[in-house]
Chain A
């Protein structure tokens, strides 16, 4: 009965983390898929005859793949907050923006006042702060986490609907600060609507990756995605993950069982924010700059749609959801539109209908497949249980 640490040290650690999923298996599968895609875009596409490769250029260009991966990274972060801990967050774009601006500040010649170089690819003569992409990834994640705590501390005491509204407010405020931050008491913090561009190139094993080195950046992004998946799954199967689940199920009972609500929720917020920050840094190098008008409210909603459509709480579902929606957004809809227009001789502007499409899909999913494309096993259980006789848990009261 005693959980004493000396006793634990003596007892042997099991070889594998028993976690309800096979870690070695997913890592292998993920790596194979990731490397196959990389080989395809780096080598195979160039060997294909023009007719075939142009189809890929139209329907699945490498830049869309990379951008979709950024969406996946951010969606995985939101999944920790919404899917794991059950806290509705309508302002996740704030963390994406924070990550982006950290990259803008620390990887460009924006701050002409100083000249700081730290492992960066930028020429030493260039003024501004130039820190290595890898360092900025860490800093971006940490800064976002700090903001997660700052935003979370006063608001997480609120109950669901109110929390959602407050996060919505923060999601609006932070991009607005960036948008209007070109003259804060005479200090140009964000360069306002002009944004900060370009950002430094990424250094990888002595290589310098410019904005068009998509295949190498793909490798970086896909590794970051894998890292986020790994972190999500590990935390989920551990002590904190159980606490989140318990809070999602019944907050009051969880606190009565010794789970500190504020700390656990703040942890979800902070860890989710890390993903947002990392995604923001990655995105800044992808588009080679940060631009305040990109961080609109619709990003929060699209991220939420990715999590919900894919399958809240299940990282694989979230990945599928994020890839699908990101593709439709960036390439799918314009490509379908072009094909449709050229076939039928019409002039319909398909991309302008994307929110109509999202709205339609969301309604459809909520009516017929509420648990998402790849649901979490637990939610599946809940939504597909018609015979409810044995269920006496008042956990949803």
Chain B
């Protein structure tokens, strides 16, 4: 874990009126690593995610990315800086093709303006062709190369999940936030997904933050795990440490052990 930190959240608190959704949480995503954020429902995981991506402004605390303070930046600036995400409930652009979905995320990397688009300059056409090529490569990379011309809404559930990752990768991020990526997957698919996460991490050299409920996935894939409960960070450590942490077992694993998991 000697990797340099890519994204750094310091003492983040989010209050909605009287409700403290996230309470003084500090957090670190190193480069080229997979770390997980777990916790029971309502622990504040997604709220924390939304702070990192600029959707919510934290009541206090700072988010630093790549040495720069991104706390008060609008979502598209944060995305352009290199923080990409997927959504818990898939949010693809349903009536756009898979390829177009990926190309939307390249928006900030493309330079053609309105005028060069209207005139169809050589540079603009070359840029379009190049971005199409990259989009196809990314679709290949996530394993859905054959779906480029299909509308996103017509893809199977698993393919939609993959397309979300391809779209996020098109931002050329340094940090990738995956919000419950295996939700709705069967154990076999989850297994494949774990390998996929490793591949993404290594080939794209990313820091990956995972919110996940599937403990088998979390324990297998994560280098470090942070546990939230009722907005507070109650534990942080390697999977082995987390497994044996009393507070975690009480708050989280204990519950699922009782329910027979």
Q: Are B124 and A260 in contact, with the CB atoms below 8 A?
A: no
**Binary contact track A4-29/B, C-beta < 8 Å → 1, others 0:** 01011101111001100000000000
Q: Are B172 and A255 in contact, with the CB atoms below 8 A?
A: no
- Give, as a whole number of angstroms, the nearest-CB distance from B3 to chain A: 20
* A253 CB within 8 Å of chain B: yes
* Closest CB pairs A-B (n = 3): A238-B117, A393-B94, A258-B79
Q: A249-B95, A378-B96 are in contact. List 12 more A-B contacts (CB 8 A).
A: A3-B127, A8-B130, A240-B117, A245-B96, A245-B104, A253-B93, A267-B114, A392-B90, A392-B157, A393-B93, A393-B160, A395-B93
- Give, as a whole number of angstroms, the nearest-CB distance from B119 to chain A: 8
Given contacts A242-B96, A245-B93, A249-B96, contact A257 B167 (CB under 8 A): yes
Residue of B nearest to A23 (CB): B120
List which A44-93 residues lie within 8 A (CB) of chain B. none
Given contacts A255-B76, A256-B53, contact A395 B104 (CB under 8 A): no
A-B contact pairs, 16 of them (CB 8 A): A9-B123, A11-B129, A17-B125, A234-B118, A235-B118, A238-B117, A239-B117, A242-B107, A245-B96, A255-B74, A258-B105, A258-B107, A259-B108, A260-B76, A267-B114, A396-B94
In the assembly, what is the distance between CA of A267 and CA of B132, in Å?
A: 23
Q: Are A390 and B104 in contact, with the CB atoms below 8 A?
A: no
**Binary contact track B87-111/A, C-beta < 8 Å → 1, others 0:** 1011111111000100111111111
* A343 CB within 8 Å of chain B: no
* A213 CB within 8 Å of chain B: no
* A381 CB within 8 Å of chain B: yes
Q: Are B114 and A257 in contact, with the CB atoms below 8 A?
A: no
Residues in B whose Cβ lies below 8 Å from that of A230: 118
Residues in A whose Cβ lies below 8 Å from that of B91: 250, 252-253, 393-395
- Among A234, A253, A271, contact of B120 (Cβ-Cβ < 8 Å): A234
* B214 CB within 8 Å of chain A: no
Residues in B whose Cβ lies below 8 Å from that of A392: 90, 153, 157, 160
* A243 CB within 8 Å of chain B: yes
Q: Are A381 and B85 in contact, with the CB atoms below 8 A?
A: no
Q: Are A379 and B95 in contact, with the CB atoms below 8 A?
A: yes
* A356 CB within 8 Å of chain B: no
- Among A3, A238, A250, A390, contact of B106 (Cβ-Cβ < 8 Å): A3
- Give, as a whole number of angstroms, the nearest-CB distance from A23 to chain B: 9
Given contacts A3-B130, A394-B91, contact A238 B124 (CB under 8 A): yes
In the assembly, what is the distance between CA of A245 and CA of B123, in Å?
A: 23
Residues in A whose Cβ lies below 8 Å from that of B106: 3
* A246 CB within 8 Å of chain B: yes
- Among A9, A14, A249, A382, contact of B93 (Cβ-Cβ < 8 Å): A249
- Give, as a whole number of angstroms, the nearest-CB distance from B184 to chain A: 8
- Among B75, B110, B117, B160, contact of A235 (Cβ-Cβ < 8 Å): B117
* B211 CB within 8 Å of chain A: no
* A231 CB within 8 Å of chain B: yes
* A346 CB within 8 Å of chain B: no
Q: Show the binding face of A for B, using Cβ within 8 Å.
A: 1-3, 5, 7-9, 11-14, 17-18, 230-231, 234-235, 238-243, 245-246, 249-250, 252-261, 267, 271, 378-379, 381-382, 390-397
- Give, as a whole number of angstroms, the nearest-CB distance from A146 to chain B: 15
Residues in B whose Cβ lies below 8 Å from that of A391: 94, 153-154
- Give, as a whole number of angstroms, the nearest-CB distance from A82 to chain B: 16
Given contacts A17-B128, A235-B117, contact A8 B160 (CB under 8 A): no
Residues in B whose Cβ lies below 8 Å from that of A241: 117
Given contacts A1-B204, A390-B154, contact A253 B92 (CB under 8 A): yes
Residues in B whose Cβ lies below 8 Å from that of A253: 87, 91-93
Residue of A nearest to B81 (CB): A258
* B80 CB within 8 Å of chain A: yes
Residues in A whose Cβ lies below 8 Å from that of B103: 242
List which B226-251 residues lie within 8 A (CB) of chain A. none
Q: Are A256 and B93 in contact, with the CB atoms below 8 A?
A: no
* B222 CB within 8 Å of chain A: no
- Among A11, A239, A378, contact of B151 (Cβ-Cβ < 8 Å): A378
In the assembly, what is the distance between CA of A379 and CA of B96, in Å?
A: 11
- Give, as a whole number of angstroms, the nearest-CB distance from A136 to chain B: 21
Residue of A nearest to B172 (CB): A1
- Give, as a whole number of angstroms, the nearest-CB distance from A15 to chain B: 9
Residues in A whose Cβ lies below 8 Å from that of B89: 394, 397
- Among A13, A246, A382, contact of B125 (Cβ-Cβ < 8 Å): A13
In the assembly, what is the distance between CA of A267 and CA of B109, in Å?
A: 18
- Give, as a whole number of angstroms, the nearest-CB distance from B132 to chain A: 8
* B171 CB within 8 Å of chain A: yes
Q: Are B79 and A255 in contact, with the CB atoms below 8 A?
A: yes
Residues in A whose Cβ lies below 8 Å from that of B128: 17-18, 238-239
* B72 CB within 8 Å of chain A: no
Q: Are A257 and B105 in contact, with the CB atoms below 8 A?
A: yes
Q: Are A254 and B104 in contact, with the CB atoms below 8 A?
A: yes
Given contacts A381-B151, A394-B90, contact A13 B95 (CB under 8 A): no
Q: Are B127 and A8 in contact, with the CB atoms below 8 A?
A: yes
